[in-house]
Amino acid sequence: MANTDVLVLGAGIVGVSAAIHLQRRGRQVVLLDRRGAGEETSYGNAGLIERASVFPYGFPRALGTLLRYAGNGATDAHYHLSALPQVLPWLVRYAMNSSPEAIARTAAAAWPLIQRCLVEHEALMAEAGAAPLLRKVGWIKAFRTAESLAKGLVEREKLRPYGLTVDVLDGAGLAEQEPFLAEGLAGGLHFRDPAAVSDPGALVQAYAALLVRLGGRFVRGDALSLNQDAAGWRVATEGSAIVAREVVVALGPWSNSLTDRFGYPVPLGVKRGYHQHFRARGNAVLNRPVLDVDGGYLLAPMAQGIRLTTGAEFARRDAPPTPVQVARALPKARRLFPLGDAVEARPWMGSRPCLPDMLPVIDKGARHKGLWFDFGHQHHGLTLGPVTGRLLAEMMTGEPTFTDPTPYRIDRF
């Protein structure tokens, strides 16, 4: 039987980052996952460290948008009719937290995390030898119509108080930045503060290797076997059981399996998403991630090829994949950029862990000694993993925290 100071459950970007920050502060850490590092939700995303995403993805309020989604033929959103009884209560809470006043509160609470997201990544990347994976090229929102561009300009104005650099591109400016995009686009917005990662899965693996170099351990095991006894927190692994004084639940969309069991119910929802890689035809190059706002999908240059990513699918977390959004997006994407053959035979699917107020949980369990939480990062797990890992480690070690953690309490619901 092994013993350690802290057991971190979940080897996605959130759990790996928390483990590193704790190990750096003198805690002996064991990181546990049923799979390898970065092989679940953290593997599939747009690869953005979203330094400009101050305002969250709120529930739509325009009637036309709601009717379009209700028809279930959209590219950017899809739902399983059979899952609605389970999903609908969460969607109602999500909608209630998407009023202009509530979005403003969420943005204010998220800004201290967003503000430091890139600098925290850069520090870890430098230490992990992963800096070549980072591309400080920003990303582009491309608009097909003057109407959608006008709405984008309104959103740009909302970001002005945060000191972010967002360039407005006309059709010629867009072509200068991305020469292989189709002609006829109305324009775009180039968000310069974010950075892009060419292989998110490889980045998480590099961080996990850094943890081991710092003296931590990575083991395979069943996080859901967690129990507390007189010796501490115990979990089953492929070898012997591990007992720790403290445990961090960083299981992303599976976190509520433990929070519910230990009496900390949270309204954790899941937005499933898909991606598939494609080769570029001829000499075509995509320089940075590009969101087709009107088309409802995003293209991102990755080590594996051009990654086509979808919006949100509302379904039961463990339901079989239904990648209809990829099928809907692909013809549009091929008209926007010269995509060639698919690299993989079928799309990848993952689940984003989402709370209705669009903020993560970074907190301790008030009724259990040594129980901590770090989950619910919605669309921004890659963005926020290192910065929330730092905040959690500061809380656990009694250091002054770089920001007030109150907005991320688990009992706020």
Three-state DSSP class for 229? strand
**Token pair belonging to 293:** 């706002």
Give the β-pairing of 134-135 and 269-280: unpaired
The CATH code for residues 2-42+201-267+357-412 is 3.50.50.60
Find how far residue 144's CA is from the centre of its chain: 26
**Token pair belonging to 290:** 């590009």
pLDDT of residue 329: 98
Provide DSSP, 345-395.
SS-EEEEEEE-TTS--EEEE-TTSTTEEEEE--GGGHHHHHHHHHHHHHHH
**Tens of pLDDT, residue by residue, the chain (413 residues):** 558 999 999 999 999 999 999 999 999 999 999 999 999 999 998 999 999 999 998 999 889 999 999 999 999 999 999 999 999 999 999 999 999 999 999 999 999 999 999 999 999 999 999 999 999 999 999 999 999 999 999 999 999 999 999 999 999 999 999 999 999 999 999 999 999 999 999 999 999 999 999 999 999 999 999 999 999 999 999 878 999 999 999 999 999 999 999 999 999 999 999 999 999 999 999 999 999 999 999 999 999 999 999 999 999 999 999 999 999 999 999 999 999 999 999 999 999 999 999 999 999 999 999 999 999 999 999 999 999 999 999 999 999 999 999 999 999 99
Can you give the residue ranges of every domain in the chain? 2-42+201-267+357-412
